[in-house]
Amino acid sequence: MRLSVVMAGLNGAMAVGLGAFAAHGMAGSDMDYARGLLEKGAHYQLVHAVALAAIAALVHHVPDEKFLRLSAYAMLAGILFFCGSLYVIAFTGMSVFGAVAPIGGFAFIGGWLLLAAACYRRFG
pLDDT tens digit string along 29-80? 989 999 999 999 999 999 999 999 999 998 888 766 899 999 999 999 999 9
Residue 31 sits in which domain range?
2-123
Q: How far apart are CA 28 and CA 6, in angstroms?
A: 35
- pTM of the prediction? 0.93
Q: How many domains does the chain have?
A: 1
Q: How far apart are CA 82 and CA 40, in angstroms?
A: 10
Q: How far apart are CA 14 and CA 88, in angstroms?
A: 15
